[in-house]
Amino acid sequence: MDELQRFLKFLEFIGYDEVKVDRGVTMVKNRKESNPIEELEKLKEEVLKCCKCRLCKTRTNVVFGEGDLTTNLMFVGEAPGEQEDLQGRPFVGRAGQLLTRFLNLYGVSRDKVYITNIVKCRPPNNRNPAPDEIQACYPYLEKQIEFIKPKVILCLGAFAARTILNLPEKTSISKIRGKEQKLGNVIVIPTFHPAYLLRNRKGEPEFQKDLELALRLAGFIK
Ligand code: URA
Ligand code: SF4
């Protein structure tokens, strides 16, 4: 017993947090190993207080992002709109409802994916985010990608695609949509923004094709 206690203390000393004995199997968890869920929670707390760019002065709520932290599929939009700013949640306005409907069409509910934006605070009157705002905010998305480790990122609209893939400012979304790209180990697929579809219904078949590709590569559909 003494020896066991000393061994447990030794384990604790070198960084093991818990030792569980379950039907003869000893399982140990190392507290020094970073836990992505905790890291993401810490990051969220930091971002909710962020004032690294001018958008913090006009926002109502920071929209950090939400969804399944263990998902294979991440959606990245541009910036929060009015509803998102009021509720502190991404894609909950009309464009978001359209996105949710498209997901449901494939039997996938919103909470099985992760949804966020390039910029976490609403630009006044929904203007485009400025380059310095994107630059200030982008490191948060990089950390979200690092912690969540999605297999696939579907970029919703030109801003997301250009920023994530580091493409020239004028790159047209219709030229790059639907083409798989790589960001490290992550497959990145640019597509139309759902807000664009609200104005241009004829873009829907292409959007659906890109969404299907993303869902397939992420293992949601065959
Ligand atoms: N448009 C976006 O790009 N993001 C949202 O969260 C809502 C609308
Ligand atoms: Fe901070 Fe991003 Fe909000 Fe700017 S947009 S204040 S960088 S969280």
DSSP string, 183-209: ETTEEEEEE--HHHHHH-GGGHHHHHH
Q: How far is CA 194 from the centre of its chain?
A: 16
- Per-residue DSSP letter, 120: S
130 lines ligand 2 (CB under 6 A): no
Question: Is 222 part of a structural domain of the chain?
Answer: no
Asked whether residue 29 carries a pLDDT value surpassing 70, the answer given is: no
> What's the pLDDT band for 35 if we cut at 50, 70, 90?
confident
Question: Is 180 part of a structural domain of the chain?
Answer: yes
| 155, 187 Cβ separation under 8 angstroms | no
CA distance 74 to 46: 21
Nearest Cα residue to 123 out of 55, 41, 35:
55
Least confident of 26-30, 115-119, 158-162, 207-211: 26-30
Question: How, if at all, do strands 66-67 and 114-117 pair?
Answer: antiparallel
* Closest ligand 2 atom number to CA of residue 53: 4
Distance 125 CA to ligand 2 centre (A): 16
- Same domain, yes or no: 60 and 169: yes
- Same domain, yes or no: 131 and 149: yes
How many domains, the chain?
A: 2
pTM above 0.75, yes or no: yes
Residue 43: which CATH number? Answer: 3.40.470.10
**Residues 68-108: pLDDT tens digits?**
999 999 999 999 999 999 999 999 999 999 999 999 999 99
DSSP three-state, residue 111: helix
Asked whether residue 31 carries a pLDDT value surpassing 60, the answer given is: no
18: tokens are: 């818990």
Q: Could you tell me the residue range of the domain that residue 8 belongs to?
A: 1-33
- Same domain, yes or no: 97 and 15: no
Buried residues in 70-104 as b, exposed as e (16+ CB within 10 A): ebbbbbbbbbbbebbbeebbbbbbebbebbbebbe
- Same domain, yes or no: 78 and 175: yes
Question: Is 131 part of a structural domain of the chain?
Answer: yes
* Closest ligand 1 atom number to CA of residue 156: 3
Question: Is 46 part of a structural domain of the chain?
Answer: yes
Distance 22 CA to ligand 1 centre (A): 46
Mutate to test the pocket of ligand 2, among 54, 84, 120, 144 (most ligand atoms within 8 A of CB): 120
- Same domain, yes or no: 7 and 62: no
Q: Count CB atoms within 10 A of the CB of residue 140.
A: 23
CA distance 155 to 11: 44
> Strands (DSSP E) along 43-113, which ranges?
66-67, 73-77
84 lines ligand 1 (CB under 6 A): yes
* Closest ligand 2 atom number to CA of residue 47: 8
Which residues, 6 or more positions from 65, have their beta carbon under 8 angstroms from its beta carbon? 90, 114, 115, 116, 117, 120, 144
- Same domain, yes or no: 28 and 50: no
Distance 35 CA to ligand 1 centre (A): 28
Asked whether residue 11 carries a pLDDT value surpassing 80, the answer given is: no
50 lines ligand 2 (CB under 6 A): yes
Alpha-carbon Rg of the chain, whole angstroms?
21
